[in-house]
């Protein structure tokens, strides 16, 4: 399998975690590392712990917003959570084979790790196609950040050994296409005054989660965009 | 399963590795930690990285010889190696289910991790019933010590057969709900004269495949039905 896997870490606070993650990225041959609003010091510990991954320090990409990264051309965006209650659609890292299409040929994939302290919030989780949870069935199930990364990258690595059946409809839409669809759906729903004002935010995030998680293909998005276009016709009074 | 798992680390040299291992032992509820000839400084970093496992610092057992530990009452002694060439009987951490009897009821098990620099030597490996290897198929397969520990403990934890969250399809919509949605979508699309006559049949089957394959939940179907209902309002001239 020759997927391209980028990693994004939110507000990382520990230099040693950062170094350890760079080493793991070298171990498992990941592509880019994005840091959203990093809080760490970028001290010498980073390169000490990065070992053979220390060259990667120079190519870290810092961003101020996760949204900006998610909205680029990824086929799949994968979140992580230690708290399965937060997201009913969390998939166990032990069952990644159930979403093996994510890590198949030519897919661009973004894996997001949350803050050391508080993980990913609900808004961030709603941007993801899937959310991975590491099953630890004890009273202290919260792994340190870099150790959670090691387990997830290890499980992804294991999938390489699997002959995966491809989704027949393998032209999965990218984040750009999904964003354009969501934008049009919001416009449509606002035009028809669909939302109770108080529920608008919540309903929009249900909609976003549903659209992202269903892994629509480019064809399917074009299809839906086609009938949203009817709204424009209504607006212009051109309904034929 | 209620096996008793002890961990033994040979000549550990890093305080942060030691702290991280104590945290992992607390995460996965291991019993005792043996250190054979530790080379680390036991600085404050150990407790910083041990987090909720820091109480375990006081019960670390230091020994001068691995042989002495192996010779006590363990049912199984399990070694680890990054180098499968060293031991032809190495079992992949991905296939621990093949030795699930090791982690069954009432077994006392010792897991040995080698040095950060050079792992376990042949004499030490020969003391083991089994040797575990973590499969990483890249040109830099050597994980940091504590990250190797996390992967192996995670795989052992998985053997417990705990209930891991599968792709949540429990609230999946029934065929009745999907059919009702499709019927309403067709009505809507016909009402707005969406289809070119010649393409209607083909487009309807794209729509149906998309809706069925995306495994919508009942909630999601209700959500979509909600905005299709707006079509009825249009028809009745009641658009608010």
pLDDT, residue B172, reads 60
Contact of B131 with B78, CB cutoff 8 Å: yes
Domain boundary among B159, B185, B215: B159
Same domain, B136 and B194: no
What integer pLDDT is reported at residue A1 of this predicted model? Answer: 58
Going by C-alpha positions, the residue among B16, B105, B92, B42 that lies closest to residue A19 is B16
- Give DSSP secondary structure letters for chain B: ---EEEEEEES---HHHHHHHHHHHHHTT---EEEES--S---HHHHHHHGGGGGGGGG-EEES-HHHHHTSS-SEEEEE-S-GGG-TTEEEGGGGGGGGGGGSTT-EEEEEE-BTTTB--HHHHTT-SEEEE----SS-----HHHHHHHHHHHHHHHT---PPPP--TTBPPHHHHHHHHHHHHHHHHHTT-S-GGGHHHHHHHHHHHHHHTT-BHHHHHHHHHHHHHHHHHHTT---
> With helix as H, strand as E and coil as C, how does A26-82 read?
HHCCCCCEEEECCCCCCCHHHHHHHHHHHHHHHHCEEECCHHHHHCCCCCEEEEECC
Q: CB of A134 within 8 A of CB of A196?
A: no
Question: Is residue B208 assigned to a domain?
Answer: yes
Could you tell me if B131 and B87 are in contact, meaning their C-beta atoms sit under 8 angstroms apart?
Answer: yes
Residue B170 is predicted with a pLDDT of 43
Domain check: are A121 and A190 in the same one? Answer: no
Q: How many CA atoms does the CB half-sphere of B85 hold within 13 Å?
A: 0
| pLDDT tens-place string over residues A5-63 | 999 999 999 999 999 999 999 999 999 999 999 999 999 999 999 999 999 999 999 99
A222 in a structural domain = yes
Residues 6+ apart with CB under 8 A from B23: A144, A147, B49, B50, B51, B52, B53
Domain that holds residue B216: 175-235
CATH code, domain with B38: 3.40.1280.10
A223 in Cβ contact with B207 (< 8 Å): yes
Backbone angles phi, psi at A214, to 5 degrees: -80, 0
Say yes or no: B238 contacts chain A, CB-CB below 8 A: no
- Tokens found for residue B104: 């069954």
Burial class (CB in 10 A: 0-12, 13-18, 19+), B159: middle
Count of structural domains, chain B? 2
Same structural domain, B105 and B217:
no
Length of chain A: 240
Say which of A20, A141, A194 has its CB closest to residue B227. Answer: A194
**Is A195 within 8 Å of A203 (Cβ atoms)?**
yes
Distance in Å, alpha carbon of B159 to nearest chain A alpha carbon: 10
- The H helix count followed by the E strand count for chain A is 8, 7
**Measured between alpha carbons, how far is A177 from A167 in angstroms, rounded to an integer?**
19
Residue B1, both tokens: 């399963």
Instruction: Give pLDDT, residue A147.
Output: 98
Instruction: Determine whether the interchain pair A157/B166 forms a contact, defined as Cβ–Cβ distance below 8 Å.
Output: no
A145 and A214 both lie in a single domain: no
The verdict on A191 and A89 lying in the same domain is no
Distance CA B85, CA B87 (A): 6
pLDDT at A119: 95
Does B108 contact A at CB distance below 8 Å?
Answer: no
In a domain, B70, yes or no: yes
- Would you state the pLDDT for residue B75? 87
Token reading at A225 = 């965009």
Residue B57 in any domain: the answer is yes
Window 29-68 of A, Cβ < 8 Å to B: 29, 49, 51-52
B12 assigned to some structural domain: yes
Same domain, A192 and A85: no
- Give ipTM to 2 decimals: 0.77
**Which residues in chain B have Cβ-Cβ distances shorter than 8 Å to A142?**
27
CB A106 within 8 A of CB A150: no
- From chain A, the residues in CB contact with B23 under 8 A are 144, 147
A93 and A199 housed in the same domain: no
Q: How far is CA A12 from CA A51, A120, B16, B146, in A?
A: 19, 12, 18, 19
CA distance B202 to chain A (A): 12
Q: Is residue A240 part of a domain?
A: no
Provide the 8-state DSSP code for A9: E
Of B97, B126, B159, which residue sits at a domain end? Answer: B159
B58 within some domain: yes
The yes-or-no verdict on residue A167 having pLDDT over 50 is no
Residues A143 and A179 in one domain: no
Q: What's residue B219's pLDDT?
A: 78
Least Cα separation, residue B45 to chain A (angstroms): 11
- Comparing CA positions, the residue from B37, B31, B36 lying closest to residue B59 is B31
Same domain, B152 and B187: no
Q: Is residue B23 part of a domain?
A: yes
| pLDDT mean by block of 10 residues, chain B; 240 residues | 88 98 97 98 98 97 94 88 69 89 85 96 88 91 96 93 46 73 85 82 79 73 77 62
Q: How many CB atoms lie within 10 A of CB A78?
A: 24
Q: How far is Cα B114 from Cα B10, in angstroms, rounded to an integer?
A: 5
| Residues B212 and B146 reside in one and the same domain | no
**How far, in Å, CA of A230 to CA of B187, rounded?**
14
* Distance, C-alpha A36 to centroid of its chain: 13
Q: Binning pLDDT at 50, 70 and 90, where does residue A239 land?
A: very low
Degrees, nearest 5: CA angle A36-A217-B181: 110
| Shortest Cα distance, chain A CAs vs residue B68, angstroms | 31
The answer to whether the Cβ–Cβ distance between B239 and A192 falls below 8 Å is yes
Asked whether residue A73 falls in the same domain as residue A99, the answer is: yes
Determine the pLDDT at residue A216.
80
Please measure the distance between the N-terminal and C-terminal CA atoms of chain B and give it in whole angstroms: 61
pLDDT of residue A86: 55
The pLDDT, as a whole number, for residue B166 is 43
Q: Does B144 touch chain A (CB under 8 A)?
A: yes
Residues A21, A90, single domain; the answer is yes
Any idea which of A127-136, A147-156, A177-186, A217-226 has the lowest mean pLDDT?
A217-226
What percent of chain A is modeled with pLDDT above 90? 52
Query: What is the reported pLDDT for B86?
Result: 55
Question: Which residues partner with B4 through β-bridges?
Answer: B108
């Amino acid at each position: 399998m020759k997927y391209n896997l980028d990693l994004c870490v939110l507000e990382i606070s520990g230099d040693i975690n950062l170094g350890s993650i760079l080493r793991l990225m070298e171990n498992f041959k990941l592509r880019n590392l994005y840091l959203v609003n990093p809080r760490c010091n970028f001290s010498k510990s980073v390169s000490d712990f990065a070992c053979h991954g220390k060259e990667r320090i120079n190519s870290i990409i810092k961003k101020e917003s996760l949204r900006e990264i998610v909205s680029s051309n990824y086929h799949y965006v994968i979140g992580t959570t230690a708290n399965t209650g937060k997201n009913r659609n969390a998939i166990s890292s032990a069952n990644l084979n159930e979403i093996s299409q994510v890590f198949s040929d030519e897919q661009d994939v973004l894996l997001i790790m949350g803050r050391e302290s508080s993980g990913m919030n609900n808004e961030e989780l709603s941007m993801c196609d899937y959310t991975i949870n590491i099953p630890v069935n004890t009273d202290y199930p919260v792994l340190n950040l870099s150790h959670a990364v090691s387990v997830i990258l290890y499980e992804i690595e294991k999938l390489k050994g699997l002959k995966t059946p491809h989704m027949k409809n393998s032209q999965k839409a990218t984040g750009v296409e999904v964003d354009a669809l969501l934008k049009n759906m919001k416009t449509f729903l606002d035009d028809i005054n669909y939302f109770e004002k108080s529920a608008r935010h919540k309903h929009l995030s249900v909609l976003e989660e549903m659209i992202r998680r269903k892994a629509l293909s480019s064809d399917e998005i074009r299809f839906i965009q086609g009938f949203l276009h009817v709204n424009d016709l209504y607006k212009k009074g051109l309904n034929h």
